């Protein structure tokens, strides 16, 4: 399809809108999307760079279709992982549709009740929602589902990569299947079923087949990913190193000299620029936002520094977003993943990354927040933090592994354009509980056989056998979460009613209990610690003094405090790296490097200070000979073992060794190696490890004490310590045998270990 053909295929009001906005051409991704929507009946995956026009590529042809052939219900269902992203898209879409008289309705917890009720009375147009709000609809307004979506044409899933390998993504796949079943429940045999076409949008997918399979689901309709030849975009990267010295009696995370040097750098690198300082934890976001504020105050600079993370109030987050997008001043915001997704913040000049991103995908997403205009180049500066401590246990503790991970991630993406494949797992029993109880709420009462048919045919549970689900349901009956009547029909049990009747049930991700922080009645945010009156803490980039607490209401009253205060959040979101990243690190430490000031130095984005540190790291590794062998002695009876596999395979190896050799102390370190206490020599340890990997590894037996294994009546599938469970919000209602299966099958990776392990 040519550009002119694509343009002429759009509805007249869209062509008028494009003309009024001065859009002189359609982008390649938009032409390709119009072609697929107009000339096929297939689903569509649009993987394209940030600011490439993906949103318009999805909406323009979909809106054209419902304009030319108006549906008798909501025509387009737009699903986003964030309410903020919905609010951002709402204004853009509403402006586009004003001339076409197609309504757009936000449907989430903060949206207008009046507009929701109007949509229920007269379903039409575009509905924007989240998985949590869809769950509420299915549970509490199931009778309205058919009227709302009986003639639904399109489902647009924004940031689809965010859903692909997460419980929320599995939840969404279940919801879409359940909605499709409801709207087709009363169809006659000769009537064609209503199967809305699905469109997935993402800037960070390389595994097209996995994403296509997710979008297709149970629909039986193929998903097309159009080939679009977009020229590779240049990027501008830099990494600088900072040293934080920990000495006896010195409290961490305070406004001392080391942190002041970092704050000074951040202020200078963002001065006159609109920027995001991405941090991996809420604590870091608070530290660096507060540090920049105090540096600016001491140097008579304007306070242009904001903070944005999930524990801040909605008003503070939205204020930062609004100032970033529309303010004339070059606002700088320290943020976590809350700003990683595609909320429109206008044109950002630069991204700062503190430490290593969580993954290649995270790096791509964060980098793409800057340089969105075709004339701009995306920019990212890495701040590599070296923490120097007294009394290292081994020479490997002196290595800044983060620096190696940063280089590996940059090299993999810039040279190969590779992003991690996605693996959602096959046995999410926490979600199985959630969807079972949700379906019971929708149905009212149902037979066990009918419920099993409904649940086990959902895409998320295709691997779960019927006898296992029967065992699962019997357990729920036993603990009072399901009631079976005299006709053997199942309903929600009295012990589950307080759980499913709570709005927190709609979400499948766990949120830690937090206490609301208020200053003179205004909500500032929340914290996980109940502070005592008179104490102080940092939140929203500044210090606060506690004046009163209300434990029953879980509220802390505060007043502003001059100066700095400590941060009280623990580290969050453990990182699991793919084997490709680990193998790239091995390449970095084993390849020949020219002098650090050479024009041929392969990592030009590293500062001289970083390059010098890399030389130190390579010296330490060379002295231990890890560049030529995989085991090094690091102390009396202590070895470091580098199997050069991914995080999951590394942990599987450590568990297998511990299971085979009771008493051997084994600690995985930095996602890269394991420390072993072993009385023999390196060759003997290598032989043991080789033997263990070659043996029949039974992941179901990991973490079971020897005295239990030796019992003749012990079933290894009946026990699993909580710390080794795959995280799940509703795990406490799942039989231990199933949690052990999930751990053994979905977390441990015996096949991956055996396939990628190289003999020591």
CATH number at residue 487: 1.10.10.10
Do 12 and 144 lie in one domain? The reply is yes
Decide: residue 174, CB within 10 A, 0-12 exposed, 13-18 middle, 19+ buried. Answer: buried
H or E, element range at 63: helix 54-68
Neighbour-count burial of 447, counting CB atoms closer than 10 A to its CB (0-12 exposed, 13-18 middle, 19+ buried): middle
Could you tell me the pLDDT band of residue 276, with boundaries at 50, 70 and 90? very high
- Does residue 48 or residue 217 have the better pLDDT? 217
Phi, psi for 631 (deg, rounded to 5) = -130, 135
Say if residue 254's pLDDT is above 50. no
Residue 442: pLDDT over 50: yes
pLDDT score, position 250: 46
Number of separate domains in the chain? 4
Segment 662-685 shows an average pLDDT of 88
Q: Is the pLDDT of residue 272 over 70?
A: yes
Percent above pLDDT 70 for the chain: 94
Assess if residue 659 is contained within a domain.
yes
Check pLDDT > 90 for residue 421.
Answer: no
Q: At a CB cut-off of 8 Å and minimum separation 6, what does 233 contact?
A: 49, 371, 377, 378
Question: The domain spanning residue 377 has which CATH number?
Answer: 3.40.50.300
Q: Is 70 exceeded by the pLDDT of residue 23?
A: yes
pLDDT for the residue numbered 204: 76
- 211 and 269 assigned to the same domain: no
The torsion of the CA quartet 211, 212, 218, 220, rounded to 10 degrees, works out to 180
Element (H, E) at 498: helix 497-500
* Average pLDDT value for residue range 617-636: 89
Burial class of residue 188 (count of CB atoms within 10 Å of its CB; 0-12, 13-18, 19+):
exposed
* pLDDT over threshold 80, residue 656: yes
Which of 136-145, 158-167, 551-560 is predicted with the least confidence, judged by mean pLDDT?
158-167
Final residue belonging to a domain, choices 197, 224, 251: 224
Cα separation, 628 vs 586, whole angstroms: 10
Check residue 95 and give its pLDDT.
Answer: 79
pLDDT tens, position by position, 182-203: 999 888 877 888 899 999 998 7
In a domain, 477, yes or no: yes
Minimum mean pLDDT among 147-161, 163-177, 333-347: which range?
333-347
Q: Based on the domain organization, do 171 and 51 belong to the same domain?
A: yes
CA torsion angle 495 499 502 508 (round to 10): -170
Question: What range defines the domain where residue 192 resides?
Answer: 3-224
- 79 with 176, same domain: the answer is yes
Tokens of 536: 């102080």
Determine the number of helices (DSSP H) and then strands (DSSP E) in the chain. Answer: 27, 25
Q: Give every CB contact of residue 683 below 8 A, 6+ residues apart in sequence.
A: none
CB-CB neighbours of 669 under 10 Å: 16
481 neighbors 496 (Cβ within 8 angstroms) = yes
Picking from 271-280, 713-722, 737-746, which range would have the lowest pLDDT averaged per residue? 713-722
Q: Can you give the pLDDT at residue 716? A: 59
Quickly state the pLDDT bin for 710 (edges 50, 70, 90): low
Structure tokens at 597: 């000031």
CB 61 within 8 A of CB 37: yes
Does 165 lie in the same domain as 67? yes
Mean pLDDT of 422-430: 89
pLDDT surpasses 70 at 717: no
At residue 409, does pLDDT exceed 80? yes
Q: Is the same domain home to 102 and 243? A: no
pLDDT at site 273: 93
pLDDT at 619 over 80: yes
H/E segment holding residue 35: helix 28-39
In the predicted model, is pLDDT for residue 713 greater than 60? yes
* Residue 85 confidence (pLDDT) above 90: no
For β-strands 542-550 and 555-561, DSSP reports them as antiparallel
For residues 422 and 210, the answer to whether their CB atoms sit within 8 Å is yes
Of the residues 473, 488, 506, which one is the last residue of a structural domain?
506
- Start-end of H helices in 360-480: 360-367, 401-416, 429-443, 448-456, 466-478
Would you state the structure tokens that stand for residue 155, as one six-digit string? 């489902």
- Co-location of 278 and 308 in the same domain: yes
Structure-token match 């080789």, residue found: 690
* Domain boundary residue, one of 386, 402, 418: 402
Residues in the chain: 760
Task: Determine how β-strand 350-354 pairs with β-strand 379-388.
Answer: parallel
| Residue 422 is assigned to a structural domain of this protein | no
Provide mean pLDDT across the span 148-162: 93
Distance between CA 396 and CA 375 in Å, rounded?
A: 44
- The pLDDT of residue 397 is 82
How does the average pLDDT of the chain come out, rounded?
89
- The tokens for 523 are 């909500």
pLDDT of residue 246: 64
Distances (CA, A) of 8 to 13, 30, 38, 66: 11, 13, 12, 16
**Residue 251: per-residue pLDDT:** 47
Query: Is a pLDDT exceeding 60 seen at residue 690?
Result: yes
In a domain, 610, yes or no: no
Using the predicted structure, report yes or no on whether residue 136 has a pLDDT greater than 90. yes
pLDDT of residue 148: 95
Distance (Å, whole) CA 640 – CA 656:
16
Q: Give the pLDDT band of residue 101 (cuts 50, 70, 90).
A: confident
Is residue 408 in a domain? Answer: no
- pLDDT for 308-329, tens place per residue? 998 899 899 989 988 988 867 8
- My answer on whether 196 and 54 are in the same domain is yes
For helices 54-68 and 28-39, give the axis angle rounded to 10 degrees. 30
User: What value does the mean pLDDT take over residues 659-676?
Assistant: 86
DSSP string, 607-655: -HHHHHHHHHHHHHHHHHTTTT-SEEEEETTEEEE-----HHHHHHHHH
Kindly state the average pLDDT of the residues 403-410. 96
Higher-scoring residue by pLDDT: 275, 207: 275
In a domain, 677, yes or no: yes
Whether residues 661 and 752 share a domain: the answer is: yes
640 and 491 within one domain: no
User: Whole-prediction pTM value?
Assistant: 0.91
- Is residue 566 scored above 80 in pLDDT? no
Asked, for residue 48, whether it belongs to a domain, the answer is yes
Q: How far apart are CA 495 and CA 497, in angstroms?
A: 6
Residue 532 lies in a domain: no
Residues 63, 201 within the same domain: yes
Same domain, 193 and 282: no
């Amino acid at each position: 399809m040519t550009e002119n053909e694509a343009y002429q295929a759009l509805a007249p009001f869209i062509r008028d809108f494009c003309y009024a906005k001065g859009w002189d051409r359609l982008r390649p991704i938009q032409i390709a999307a119009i072609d697929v929507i107009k000339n096929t009946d297939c689903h569509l995956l649009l993987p394209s760079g940030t600011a490439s026009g993906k949103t318009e590529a999805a909406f323009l042809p979909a809106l054209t279709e419902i304009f030319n052939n108006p549906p008798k219900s909501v025509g387009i269902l737009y699903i986003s992982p964030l309410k903020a992203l919905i609010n951002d898209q709402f204004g853009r879409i509403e402006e586009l549709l004003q001339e076409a008289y197609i309504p757009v309705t936000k449907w989430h917890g903060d949206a207008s009740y009046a507009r929701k009720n109007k949509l229920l009375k007269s379903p039409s147009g575009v509905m924007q929602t989240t998985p949590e709000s869809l769950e509420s609809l299915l549970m509490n307004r199931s009778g309205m589902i058919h009227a709302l979506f009986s003639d639904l044409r399109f489902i647009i899933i924004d940031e689809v990569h965010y859903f692909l390998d997460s419980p929320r993504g599995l939840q969404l796949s279940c919801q879409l299947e359940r909605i499709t079943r409801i709207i087709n429940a009363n169809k006659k045999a000769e009537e064609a079923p209503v199967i809305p076409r699905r469109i997935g949008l993402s800037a960070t997918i390389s595994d097209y087949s996995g994403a296509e399979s997710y979008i297709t689901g149970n629909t039986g309709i193929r998903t097309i990913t159009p080939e679009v030849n977009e020229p590779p975009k240049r990027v501008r990267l830099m990494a600088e190193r900072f040293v934080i010295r920990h000495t006896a009696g010195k409290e961490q995370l305070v406004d001392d000299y080391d942190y002041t040097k970092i704050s000074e750098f951040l202020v200078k690198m963002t001065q006159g620029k609109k920027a995001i300082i991405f941090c991996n934890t809420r604590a870091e976001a608070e530290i660096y936002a507060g540090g920049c504020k105090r540096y600016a105050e001491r140097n008579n600079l304007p306070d242009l520094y904001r903070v944005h993370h999930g524990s801040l109030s909605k008003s503070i987050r939205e204020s930062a977003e609004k100032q970033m997008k529309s303010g004339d001043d070059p606002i700088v915001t320290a943020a976590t993943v809350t700003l990683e997704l595609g909320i429109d913040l206008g044109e950002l000049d630069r991204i700062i990354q503190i430490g290593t991103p969580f993954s290649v995908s995270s790096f791509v997403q964060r980098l793409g927040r800057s340089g969105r205009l075709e004339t701009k180049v995306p920019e990212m500066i890495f701040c590599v933090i070296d923490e120097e401590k007294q009394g290292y246990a081994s020479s490997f503790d002196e290595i800044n592994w983060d620096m190696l991970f940063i280089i590996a991630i940059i090299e993999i993406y810039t040279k190969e354009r590779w992003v991690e494949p996605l693996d959602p797992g096959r046995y999410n029993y926490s979600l199985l509980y959630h969807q079972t109880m949700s379906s019971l709420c929708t149905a009212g009462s149902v037979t066990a056989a009918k419920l099993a048919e409904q649940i086990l045919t959902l895409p998320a549970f295709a691997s779960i056998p019927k006898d296992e689900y029967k065992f699962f349901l019997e357990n729920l009956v036993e603990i009072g979460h399901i009631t079976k009547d005299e006709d053997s029909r199942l309903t929600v049990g009295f012990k589950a009613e307080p759980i499913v009747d709570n709005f927190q049930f709609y979400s499948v991700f766990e949120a830690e209990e937090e206490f609301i922080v208020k200053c003179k009645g205004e909500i500032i945010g929340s914290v996980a610690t109940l502070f005592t009156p008179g104490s102080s803490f940092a939140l929203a980039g500044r210090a606060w003094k506690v004046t009163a607490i209300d434990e029953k209401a879980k509220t802390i009253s505060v007043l502003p405090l001059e100066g700095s205060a400590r941060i009280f959040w623990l580290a969050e979101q453990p990182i699991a790296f793919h084997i490709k990243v680990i193998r790239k690190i091995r390449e970095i430490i084993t390849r020949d490097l020219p002098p650090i000031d050479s024009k041929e130095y392969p990592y030009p984005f590293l500062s001289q200070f970083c390059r010098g540190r890399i030389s130190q790291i390579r010296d330490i590794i060379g002295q231990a000979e890890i560049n030529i062998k995989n085991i090094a002695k690091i102390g009396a009876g202590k070895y470091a073992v580098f199997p050069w596999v991914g995080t999951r395979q590394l942990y599987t190896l450590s568990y297998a060794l511990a299971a085979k050799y009771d008493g051997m102390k084994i600690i995985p370190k930095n996602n890269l190696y394991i420390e072993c206490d072993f009385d023999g020599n390196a060759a003997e340890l290598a032989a043991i490890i080789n033997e263990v990997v070659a043996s029949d590894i039974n992941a179901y037996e990991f973490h079971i004490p020897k005295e239990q294994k030796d019992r003749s009546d012990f079933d290894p599938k009946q026990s699993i310590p909580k710390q080794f469970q795959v995280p799940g919000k509703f795990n406490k209602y799942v039989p231990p045998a199933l949690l052990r299966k999930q751990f053994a099958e979905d977390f441990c990776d015996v096949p991956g270990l055996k396939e990628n392990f190289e003999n020591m």
